[in-house]
């Protein structure tokens, strides 16, 4: 049991990588469209690259989206609307007419009451019998409509029903036929008040009829028999041929994705996706071993790949024409902020290879996204400068628009058919890409990573922790600034992360705040506190500043990448002065008691800091420094560190160490350059 637990403990990192690999593969398989893949790749307006294609089976030619939309529009335009006639409205209007006549009739002024009532009721029934509407409709007078009166449906022209504006003129024209001296205007006013609209549009019935007709549209426009030639090699894919190929592709994919073939298709997808992730693992193992060994960073990369595929799938399921609104360029942008440009571009390309299974017009999509990714990597430098991100996003959007314009011209042969909405999607995509800054901040909090933006904030010497260092240990603070300048120059020389080295140098000695006077740079007089202590006790205080520094850093929530500089800046070196002093008194002294706990530097940046720190601190002991003394002094210190094996785990070459020495010598010569003495 113990041996099993021991093996599990040793291999848990590898097991986690395997679990991450399998989980990501299964998630992406789940996101993939459930259908087979047509074995020919073709684009409208481009020549057919394969041999003559013959129909492998009989299939129907599907109407394209535009044709179906035109037919649907035609049905809607020609649809006959349904109107409802209110049967109770006539009796209600007659009742109002009778009441108005009873209350307002004057025998001495008007004609016979019974006659007026009879004429009024006749006109009212006639007008309302045709129908009156108080609604406004976009129909022409010659538009055919259906009027539903109970269970009966009457077919009439729209002009045959009255509107409320027609009532007065209609009543007056009807009254012309009657001899009613001094009574027509009276009767007309009563009728106007009594007659009400009794015809309304039945939207539900009209829409149901339209929907029924739309559903009855035949999605096919012909049949291709098995063995018929579809296209010849070199023939341009366009017009009806393009429709036939799309129909064949759809039919082929639906036939392939059957219950009997489903398992094999899943196996095929699994192999291809696994190959993509395998390439990522191999790249990281060969060129980015530090990231490969760090499960948090590995999880971060896989999370971003899966997230981008998930967002793209979500948009495609909603509306495939919105696929370009997904800000894929955030992926290389974020990876470049946390790692390096080459890794950002490599992961971006691998993600696009996976998206090739999902997106429509995959060649066009991949081309535009790869170009945009390259532009992202080439243009975004110093992401912590906000203006750079805006400029880069503008360039990315411009590349999208120019690329889409070129594809549109190639496919259609003119610019009349360019979809301007797609250009708007590119602009929206660019605006969403600006979300990179808050996203980077969010990732820093979730995954414990650190970007150049955070490094810039940490490099501010007015920050709370550095102010505390300058107040409690001013000599150490000054030493840290000098080391930061030396380390930054060396990092620039060999192409290391200069910003990271500078910040690491500023914080590497914060542990000295606990006992500042125990370190010579903070002693303001000739009294040395170590004179009263035993060498072993003094050594433990000196060595303790590393542990104290780590504790202070964690308390102030500094990123782990900065704490690494505190932990490694002395490696496993020996506190030689106190060891020598103790060995003079006790020859059998244990050397381990006078050594820093380590670990030794494990990156170029931490190695640079060790060299710069040792050289800067020891340079204070130089008396009457000259160029020769400085050269020998730098060589001696760094060669000694190499002999102790301090750089064995750091990814730094002999050539780079020589370049670092050269920079340190030059900087120290500038610092200790003596001015010419002028006569008083």
Task: Determine which of 77-91, 137-151, 413-427 has the lowest per-residue pLDDT on average.
Answer: 413-427
Candidates 12, 30, 47; CA nearest to 242 is 47
Each residue of 612-666: pLDDT tens digit? 999 988 887 777 778 888 888 899 999 999 999 999 888 889 999 999 999 999 9
Q: Is 468 exposed, middle or buried (0-12, 13-18, 19+ CB in 10 A)?
A: middle
- Residue pointed to by tokens 């750079």: 388
Q: How confident is the model at residue 257 (pLDDT cuts 50, 70, 90)?
A: low
CA distances in angstroms from 225 to 59, 60, 174, 229, 278, listed in the order given: 7, 9, 68, 9, 44
Question: Residue 233's pLDDT is what?
Answer: 79
Candidates 483, 434, 480; CA nearest to 461 is 480
- Residue pointed to by tokens 């992406």: 28
Contacts of 433 (CB under 8 A, 6+ apart): 327, 329, 330, 333, 393, 396
In the predicted structure, residue 675 carries a pLDDT above the cut 50: no
Question: Residue 107's pLDDT is what?
Answer: 60
In the predicted structure, residue 76 carries a pLDDT above the cut 80: yes
Question: Residue 191's pLDDT is what?
Answer: 84
Q: Is 85 exposed, middle or buried (0-12, 13-18, 19+ CB in 10 A)?
A: buried
Q: Other CB atoms closer than 10 Å to residue 620's CB: what's the count?
A: 11
Cα 652 from Cα 35, distance rounded (Å): 50
The dihedrals phi and psi of 120, each to the nearest 5 degrees, come to -60, -45
Q: How confident is the model at residue 678 (pLDDT cuts 50, 70, 90)?
A: very low
Q: How confident is the model at residue 385 (pLDDT cuts 50, 70, 90)?
A: low
Question: Residue 383's pLDDT is what?
Answer: 59
In the predicted structure, residue 160 carries a pLDDT above the cut 80: yes
Torsion sign (Cα): 417, 421, 425, 428:
positive
- Residue pointed to by tokens 């500078």: 502
Each residue of 127-136: pLDDT tens digit? 888 888 888 8
Task: Determine which of 39-53, 80-94, 138-152, 400-414 has the lowest per-residue pLDDT on average.
Answer: 39-53
* Interval 429-450 mean pLDDT: 85
Structural domains in the chain, sorted by start: 11-36+259-447 (no CATH), 76-213 (no CATH), 463-671 (1.10.3210)
In the predicted structure, residue 674 carries a pLDDT above the cut 50: no
- Residue pointed to by tokens 């991450």: 20
Q: Is 182 exposed, middle or buried (0-12, 13-18, 19+ CB in 10 A)?
A: exposed
Q: How confident is the model at residue 603 (pLDDT cuts 50, 70, 90)?
A: confident
Question: Residue 53's pLDDT is what?
Answer: 82
Bridge partners, residue 229, by sequence: 54
Each residue of 296-341: pLDDT tens digit? 999 999 999 999 999 999 998 888 788 889 999 999 989 988 888 8
In the predicted structure, residue 415 carries a pLDDT above the cut 70: no
Q: Other CB atoms closer than 10 Å to residue 196's CB: what's the count?
A: 16
- Averaged confidence pLDDT in the chain: 83
Q: How confident is the model at residue 467 (pLDDT cuts 50, 70, 90)?
A: very high
Q: How confident is the model at residue 49 (pLDDT cuts 50, 70, 90)?
A: confident
Contacts of 426 (CB under 8 A, 6+ apart): 324, 397, 400, 401, 404
- For 246, the token pair is 């799309």
Torsion sign (Cα): 221, 222, 223, 229:
negative
* Interval 489-513 mean pLDDT: 91
Q: Identify the DSSP state of 626.
A: -
Task: Determine which of 183-197, 223-237, 377-391 has the lowest per-residue pLDDT on average.
Answer: 377-391
* Interval 245-263 mean pLDDT: 68
**Do residues 162 and 127 lie in contact, with contact meaning Cβ atoms separated by under 8 Å?**
yes
Full DSSP string of 483-498? HHHHHHHHHHHHT--H
In the predicted structure, residue 515 carries a pLDDT above the cut 90: no
Torsion sign (Cα): 283, 347, 339, 22:
negative
Percent of the chain with pLDDT over 70: 90
Cα 437 from Cα 216, distance rounded (Å): 52
- More confidently predicted of 658 and 178: 658
- For 100, the token pair is 């108005």
* Interval 64-73 mean pLDDT: 85
**Bond into 599 cis (ω within 30):** yes
Q: How confident is the model at residue 52 (pLDDT cuts 50, 70, 90)?
A: confident
Percent of the chain with pLDDT over 90: 24
Counting every residue written for the chain, the total comes to 680
Cα 557 from Cα 544, distance rounded (Å): 20
Torsion sign (Cα): 621, 624, 627, 628:
negative
Each residue of 88-107: pLDDT tens digit? 888 888 888 888 888 876 66
Cα 676 from Cα 220, distance rounded (Å): 95
Each residue of 518-538: pLDDT tens digit? 888 877 776 667 767 777 888
Question: Residue 6's pLDDT is what?
Answer: 55
In the predicted structure, residue 668 carries a pLDDT above the cut 90: no
In the predicted structure, residue 110 carries a pLDDT above the cut 60: no
**Do residues 59 and 248 lie in contact, with contact meaning Cβ atoms separated by under 8 Å?**
yes
- Degrees (nearest 5) of the Cα angle 291, 296, 297? 35
Question: Residue 677's pLDDT is what?
Answer: 41
State the pairing for strand pair 132-133/162-163.
parallel
- More confidently predicted of 473 and 381: 473
In the predicted structure, residue 676 carries a pLDDT above the cut 50: no
Question: Residue 256's pLDDT is what?
Answer: 58
**Do residues 377 and 332 lie in contact, with contact meaning Cβ atoms separated by under 8 Å?**
yes
- Degrees (nearest 5) of the Cα angle 113, 116, 120? 140
Rounded to a whole number of angstroms, the CA Rg of the chain reads: 43
Contacts of 350 (CB under 8 A, 6+ apart): 276, 277, 279, 280, 305
């Amino acid at each position: 049991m113990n041996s099993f637990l021991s093996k599990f403990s040793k291999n848990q990192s590898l097991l986690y990588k395997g679990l991450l690999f399998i989980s990501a593969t299964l998630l992406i398989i789940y996101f993939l469209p459930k259908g087979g893949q047509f074995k020919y790749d073709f684009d409208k307006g481009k020549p057919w690259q394969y041999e003559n294609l013959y129909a492998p089976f009989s299939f129907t030619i599907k109407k394209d989206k535009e044709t179906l939309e035109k037919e649907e529009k035609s049905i809607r335009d020609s649809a006959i609307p349904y109107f409802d006639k209110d049967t109770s409205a006539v009796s209600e209007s007659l009742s109002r007419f009778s009441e108005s006549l009873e209350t307002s009739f004057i025998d001495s002024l008007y004609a016979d009451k019974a006659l007026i009532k009879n004429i009024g009721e006749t006109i009212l029934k006639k007008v309302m019998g045709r129908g009156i509407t108080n609604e406004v409709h976009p129909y022409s007078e010659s538009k055919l409509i259906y009027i539903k009166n109970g269970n009966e449906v009457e077919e009439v022209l729209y002009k045959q029903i009255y509107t409320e504006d027609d009532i007065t003129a209609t009543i007056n024209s009807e009254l012309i036929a009657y001899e009613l001296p001094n009574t027509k205007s009276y009767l007309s006013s009563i009728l106007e008040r009594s007659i009400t609209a009794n015809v309304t549009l039945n939207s539900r019935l009209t829409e149901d009829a339209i929907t029924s007709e739309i559903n009855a549209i035949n999605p096919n426009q012909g049949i291709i028999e098995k063995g018929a030639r579809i296209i010849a090699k070199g023939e341009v894919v366009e017009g009806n041929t393009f429709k036939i190929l799309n129909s064949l592709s759809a039919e082929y994919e639906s036939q392939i994705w059957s219950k009997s073939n489903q398992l094999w298709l899943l196996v095929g997808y699994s192999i291809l996706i696994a190959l993509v992730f395998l390439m990522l693992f191999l790249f990281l193992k060969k060129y980015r071993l530090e990231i490969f060994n760090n499960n948090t960073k590995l999880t971060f990369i896989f999370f971003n790949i899966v997230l981008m595929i998930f967002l793209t799938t979500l948009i495609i399921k909603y509306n495939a024409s919105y696929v370009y609104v997904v800000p894929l360029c955030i992926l290389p942008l974020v990876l470049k902020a946390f790692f390096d440009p080459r890794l950002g571009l490599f992961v971006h390309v691998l993600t696009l290879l996976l998206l090739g299974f999902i997106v429509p017009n995959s060649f066009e999509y991949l081309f535009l996204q790869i170009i945009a990714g390259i532009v992202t990597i080439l243009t975004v430098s110093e992401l912590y400068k906000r203006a750079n991100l805006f400029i880069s996003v503008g360039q990315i959007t411009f590349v999208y628009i120019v690329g889409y314009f070129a594809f549109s011209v190639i496919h259609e042969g003119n610019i009349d058919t360019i979809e301007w909405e797609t250009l708007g999607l590119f602009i929206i995509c660019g605006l969403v890409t600006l979300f990179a800054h808050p996203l980077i901040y969010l990732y820093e909090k979730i995954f414990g990573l650190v970007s150049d933006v955070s490094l810039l904030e940490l490099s501010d010497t007015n920050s709370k922790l550095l102010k505390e260092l300058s107040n409690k240990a001013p000599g150490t603070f000054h030493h840290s600034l000098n080391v930061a300048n030396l380390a930054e120059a060396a990092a620039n020389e060999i192409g290391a992360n200069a910003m990271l080295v500078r910040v690491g140098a500023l914080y590497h000695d914060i542990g000295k705040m606990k006992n500042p006077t125990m370190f010579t740079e903070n002693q303001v007089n000739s009294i040395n506190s170590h004179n009263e202590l035993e060498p072993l006790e003094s050594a433990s205080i000196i060595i303790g500043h590393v542990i104290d520094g780590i504790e202070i850093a964690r308390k102030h929530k500094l990123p782990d990448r900065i704490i690494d500089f505190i932990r490694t800046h002395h490696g496993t070196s020996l506190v030689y002065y106190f060891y020598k002093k103790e060995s003079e008194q006790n020859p059998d002294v244990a050397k381990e008691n006078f050594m820093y706990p380590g670990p030794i530097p494990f990156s170029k940046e931490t190695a640079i800091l060790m060299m710069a720190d040792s050289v800067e601190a020891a340079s204070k002991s130089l008396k009457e420094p000259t160029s020769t003394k400085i050269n020998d002094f730098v060589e001696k210190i760094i060669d000694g560190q190499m002999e102790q094996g301090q750089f064995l785990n750091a990814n730094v070459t002999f050539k780079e160490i020589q370049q670092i020495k050269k920079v340190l010598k030059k900087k120290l010569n500038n610092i200790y350059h003596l001015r010419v003495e002028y006569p008083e």
